[in-house]
Amino acid sequence: MNDDNESRDLSLATLAIRSAELRTDEMAHSETLFLTSSFVYESAAQAAGRFDGSQPGNVYSRFSNPTVKAFEQRLAAMEGGERAVAFGSGMGAIFGLFFALMSPGEHVVSSRSLFGTTNTVFRRYFTKFGMEYTLVDIDDIDAWRNAIQPKTRFFYIETPSNPLAEVGDIRALAELAHEHNIELIVDNCFCSPAVQKPLALGADYVVHSATKYLDGQGRCVGGAVVGKHEALEEVFAFLRATGASLSPFNAWVFLKGLETLPIRMRAHCENALALAQWLEQQEGVDKVFYAGLESHPSHKLASQQQNGFGGVLSFSLVDAQGSKERDVAWRFIDATEMISITANLGDVKTTITHPASTTHGRLTAEEKQEAGITENLIRLSVGLEDIEDLKREMQRGLAAIGY
Ligand SMILES: *Cc1c(COP(=O)(O)O)cnc(C)c1O
């Protein structure tokens, strides 16, 4: 395997393909899948050495597997981090990072607009284990400052936010955090390192759901934390003891996914921007939420800290009678023929979602209103089908609401 320092000079597209190459004596060109739960030793003495850590080498795939390690090294190289620790899911990674590093009584300030299950971790499990949190608007830096307490350990953001694509200023939040001896965690799932490099902007940790763009073809569930060696040693120890480990098979799929990540993300960004611009012109589309549009309040900041605008966009509808009720969104969704009705995202296949009744369905009416999740809102994860075919799908939806 290449060593980290050597890989730092290579560009992202090259790192995606050439970092952490995993070659055995059989000289297979593709990375080897070590589909094994355990490893054997030459002797009793070697076994003892592996167990007490005095000899390097593999022990057991809950915490040491060469294919998983290669995925960690490649992702770390692409994010520009010293190290990554892979988990069995994105939630495993997020939970693992918090619970490995925090103690009862400590506090997190987080952006309000979050992946639903991350919100559940705060609401149910932080509370249960005596940890505290405050939710603030992602773009209100004064609110972040005012929420800081003596025991604040982390700032946490998901940027751009789901589904309205509001952007948090990573550099400004990192500076504010560091002034108060706080560390910044960024969930980089929506952009991936091909579009946004939070660590280079000052963040201390990146968390990923590899399930989304890193895989890119909707096959496997997985996740990772990226950051500095020392802190991640704690996270690794937590993983080793608590067992939310990534399967070597999934790691192998993600390794292959990473190879095409930069080129896929360019294509996702291009398709999503073209579709957003087209949707903005259509009768029946009330508003389009995509930071690539100049009409979006986060456009300027997104242009500075991202090198594209990602593949996820949302839009609200108004039917020919002027209704903006749930029924309008559902009629639109049900009229599409090719695109997939599912809540997943980050796939080469375009997916369509009604956030108010699925991903954000458990929020109260008040919380929905605060988060801007209206009944007439649709989220698209724009895939890599031909743009003209995607426009035709949108036209089917618009026809169903009277246009
Ligand atoms: C999907 C997702 C997660 C959770 O990842 P899983 O792999 O489903 O556990 C976390 N954050 C964001 C932004 C996501 O989209």
Residue 347: the pLDDT is 97
Q: Which residues line ligand 1 (CB under 6 A)?
A: 89-91, 115, 118, 158, 162, 187, 189, 209, 211-212, 221, 223
State whether 30 and 15 are in the same domain: yes
In the predicted model, is pLDDT for residue 186 greater than 90?
yes
Q: Which residue has its alpha carbon closest to ligand 1 atom 6?
A: 90
Q: Which residue has its alpha carbon closest to ligand 1 atom 8?
A: 90
State whether 88 and 135 are in the same domain: yes
In a domain, 152, yes or no: yes
Q: Is the peptide bond before 160 cis (omega within 30 degrees of 0)?
A: yes
State whether 312 and 391 are in the same domain: yes
**CATH label of the domain that carries residue 45:** 3.40.640.10
Show contacts of 351-357: CB within 8 Å, 24+ apart.
Answer: 351/380, 351/381, 351/383, 352/378, 352/379, 352/380, 353/163, 353/378, 353/379, 353/380, 353/381, 354/326, 354/329, 354/330, 354/378, 354/379, 355/163, 355/314, 355/379, 356/326, 356/329, 357/326
Question: What separation in Å is there between the alpha carbon of 36 and the centre of ligand 1?
Answer: 27
Q: What percent of the chain has pLDDT over 90?
A: 91
Q: Which residue has its alpha carbon closest to ligand 1 atom 12?
A: 115
Residue 6: the pLDDT is 52
Mean pLDDT of 139-166: 96
Could you tell me if 73 and 19 are in contact, meaning their C-beta atoms sit under 8 angstroms apart? yes
State whether 268 and 255 are in the same domain: no
In a domain, 310, yes or no: yes
Question: What separation in Å is there between the alpha carbon of 22 and the centre of ligand 1?
Answer: 27
Q: Which residue has its alpha carbon closest to ligand 1 atom 1?
A: 209
Could you tell me if 73 and 4 are in contact, meaning their C-beta atoms sit under 8 angstroms apart? yes
Q: Which of 120, 209, 220, 246 has most ligand 1 atoms within 8 Å of CB, for mutation?
A: 209
State whether 188 and 226 are in the same domain: yes
Q: Which positions ≥6 away from 359 have C-beta within 8 Å? A: 116, 162, 163, 343, 353, 379
Residue 21: the pLDDT is 83
State whether 244 and 267 are in the same domain: no
State whether 293 and 328 are in the same domain: yes
* pLDDT category of residue 1 using cuts at 50, 70 and 90: very low
Mean pLDDT of 7-35: 90
State whether 268 and 141 are in the same domain: no
Residue 8: the pLDDT is 58
State whether 238 and 335 are in the same domain: no
In a domain, 1, yes or no: no
Query: How far is Cα 372 from Cα 374, in angstroms, rounded to an integer?
Result: 6
In a domain, 2, yes or no: no
Residue 3: the pLDDT is 47
- Residue pLDDT, tens place only, 328-385: 999 999 999 999 999 999 999 999 999 999 999 888 898 888 888 999 999 999 999 9
- Residue pLDDT, tens place only, 80-138: 999 999 999 999 999 999 999 999 999 999 999 888 899 999 999 999 999 999 999 99
The conformational region for residue 340 under phi > 0 = left, psi -120 to 50 = alpha, else beta, is beta
Question: What separation in Å is there between the alpha carbon of 284 and the centre of ligand 1?
Answer: 31
In a domain, 4, yes or no: no
Structural domain including 168 reads 9-259
Domain limit, last residue, from 217, 244, 259: 259
Residue 116: the pLDDT is 86
Mean pLDDT of 242-267: 98
Q: Which of 110, 212, 360 has most ligand 1 atoms within 8 Å of CB, for mutation?
A: 212
Q: Which positions ≥6 away from 233 have C-beta within 8 Å? A: none
Query: How far is Cα 154 from Cα 334, in angstroms, rounded to an integer?
Result: 42
- Residue pLDDT, tens place only, 269-287: 999 999 999 999 999 999 9
Atom number of ligand 1 nearest to Cα 222: 7
Domain limit, last residue, from 239, 259, 279: 259
Show contacts of 119-127: CB within 8 Å, 24+ apart.
Answer: 121/91, 121/94, 121/95, 125/95, 126/98
Q: What are phi and psi of 174, to 5 degrees?
A: -65, -40
Question: What separation in Å is there between the alpha carbon of 92 and the centre of ligand 1?
Answer: 9
Residue 370: the pLDDT is 83
State whether 308 and 219 are in the same domain: no
Residue 2: the pLDDT is 43
In a domain, 160, yes or no: yes
Atom number of ligand 1 nearest to Cα 221: 7
State whether 104 and 31 are in the same domain: yes
**CATH label of the domain that carries residue 369:** 3.90.1150.10
The domain total for the chain is 2
Distance between alpha carbon 224 and the CA centroid of its chain, in Å? 10
Distance between alpha carbon 288 and the CA centroid of its chain, in Å? 22
Domain limit, last residue, from 227, 259, 291: 259
What is the rounded average pLDDT for all residues in the chain? 95
Burial label for 310, CB within 10 Å (0-12, 13-18, 19+), is: buried
In the predicted model, is pLDDT for residue 4 greater than 70?
no
In a domain, 204, yes or no: yes
Could you tell me if 346 and 216 are in contact, meaning their C-beta atoms sit under 8 angstroms apart? yes
* pLDDT category of residue 5 using cuts at 50, 70 and 90: very low
> Which single residue is written with the structure tokens 């953001």?
157
State whether 320 and 251 are in the same domain: no
In a domain, 359, yes or no: yes
